[in-house]
Amino acid sequence: MIALWIVLGIIVVIGIALVVSYNRFVSQRNLIRNSWANIDTELRRRYDLIPNLVETVKGYASHEREVFEDVARTRSAAAQATGSPAEQAAAEGPFVAALGRLFAVAENYPELKANQNFLALQQELSNTEDRIQASRRFYNANVQDFNRRVQSFPSNVIAGMFGFKEEQFFEIPEAERAVVAEAPHVDFGSAAAAPTVPAPSAAPPASPPPAAPPAAPPPATPPAAPPAPPAPPEGGPPSA
């Protein structure tokens, strides 16, 4: 009789563990879906800001047609991507790269960077990007916890029994991310850096000018030639 109660107790404990584990899987899966919905909301907000931003830049750089077309094309592809997080991330990469090129164009126009409409759009886009990154980190953290349970024993048994599979992370490659908080710095690479001019030091006290060298003595006057002897009288010397 005691053995029967022990067996029944073990079955009840296992049953409770199964229920708790299953409910935790369901709760985690719903949390992942909700966090993904937050990412999608912020992405849509960013897509809605881009047309106004492009029109503002066009007013100052209408000849940059290729950049505008690239932004429009990649934005449309990213907005229409409704698949898995991995597919969405693959579509986001080219779009944020094109957005970075748009800000690089804006960097060349000081009047545009001072435009109030452009500054407001840039600030709103920066705030949206911050919310996207926060939502992405929250989503990926939930996916990591969920996938760990799917892979670990004994929760992997429950996952296999009820069809819980690993979820996908939402990651955009670092090389394709655009910095939208501020216009990127343009480095032309060929320009040499200007030399740094040191601060002038205090001038030393002026020293007196050197004394002029003594004047050279005048050249010596050659001595006068001795007087010539008197000429002899005519007719030769006198006789004795």
Structural domain span for residue 130: 2-176
What CA–CA distance (Å, rounded) separates 183 from 172? Answer: 20
Is residue 220 assigned to a domain? no
Long-range contacts of 11-15 (CB under 8 A, 24+ apart): none
Q: Which residues of the chain have pLDDT under 70?
A: 173-240
CATH of residue 81? 1.20.1440.20
How many other C-beta atoms are found inside a 10 Å radius of the C-beta of residue 99?
25
CA-based max dimension of the chain = 197
Q: Are 167 and 151 in contact (CB under 8 A)?
A: no
Q: What pLDDT, on a 0 to 100 scale, did the predictor assign at position 173?
A: 62
Residue corresponding to tokens 């090129």:
101
Q: Are 142 and 30 in contact (CB under 8 A)?
A: no
What CA–CA distance (Å, rounded) separates 146 from 150? Answer: 6
How many other C-beta atoms are found inside a 10 Å radius of the C-beta of residue 152?
10
Is residue 227 assigned to a domain? no
Per-residue pLDDT reduced to its tens digit, 136-145: 999 999 999 9
Amino acid at 41: T
Q: What pLDDT, on a 0 to 100 scale, did the predictor assign at position 4?
A: 82
Is residue 71 assigned to a domain? yes
Q: What pLDDT, on a 0 to 100 scale, did the predictor assign at position 24?
A: 94
Chain centroid, CA 23 distance in Å: 43
Is residue 99 assigned to a domain? yes
Burial of 156 (0-12, 13-18, 19+ CB in 10 A): middle
* Phi, psi (rounded to 5 degrees) for 232: -70, 150
Is residue 113 assigned to a domain? yes
Residue corresponding to tokens 């429009």:
72
pTM equals 0.67
Of 184, 181, 178, the closest CA to residue 95 belongs to: 178
Is residue 235 assigned to a domain? no
For residue 215, what are the contacts with CB-CB under 8 A and spacing of at least 6? none
Is residue 193 assigned to a domain? no
Chain centroid, CA 28 distance in Å: 35
Is residue 133 assigned to a domain? yes
Of 105, 126, 110, the closest CA to residue 184 belongs to: 105
Q: Distance of CA 40 to CAs 78, 152, 166, Å?
A: 11, 30, 20
Domain count, the chain: 1
Of 11, 101, 12, 7, the closest CA to residue 57 belongs to: 101
Q: What pLDDT, on a 0 to 100 scale, did the predictor assign at position 174?
A: 58
ω into residue 227 within 30 of 0, thus cis? no
